[in-house]
Amino acid sequence: METSTSLPLPTGVMPSPDFAGTYGDRVITLESDGYLYLKRPGTMRLKLLPKYADVFKLEIMPSATIVFLRDAANTITGIKVSKGDGHWKTSRRNGDAMQEPV
């Protein structure tokens, strides 16, 4: 079963490089400024701000939420994305079985 961690991040703690990867058509990178960025084809790069250990919001759209999913071994296996409208879309991390495009 996949879960997300809902613990608040201590002040000054930045995301792990483990979050970086390709999820469907979304590419998430950890940049030299210590922040994660999300990029989709044909769109600008969007900065992710941490809300909790595995939960982020978009800097330019704070109602949008990105949740990193983990398996029983605590490995990141995918993401769930909501624009803040209550609907969620899931994408598997590329390279994992059963990738679900968004």
Question: Where do the domains of the chain lie?
Answer: 17-92
- Residue 94 phi/psi, 5-degree rounding, is -60, 135
58: Cβ contacts below 8 Å, ≥ 6 apart: 38, 46, 47, 48, 49, 64, 66
In the prediction, which pLDDT does 96 show? Answer: 54
Please give the Cα distance from 90 to 101 (Å, whole number).
Answer: 8
In the prediction, which pLDDT does 15 show? Answer: 78
Q: How far apart are the first and last CA of the chain?
A: 20
pTM: 0.79
In the prediction, which pLDDT does 16 show? Answer: 85
pLDDT averaged per 10 residues in sequence order, the chain, 102 residues: 50 77 95 92 94 91 94 95 93 68 40
In the prediction, which pLDDT does 8 show? Answer: 52
In the prediction, which pLDDT does 52 show? Answer: 87
In the prediction, which pLDDT does 95 show? Answer: 74
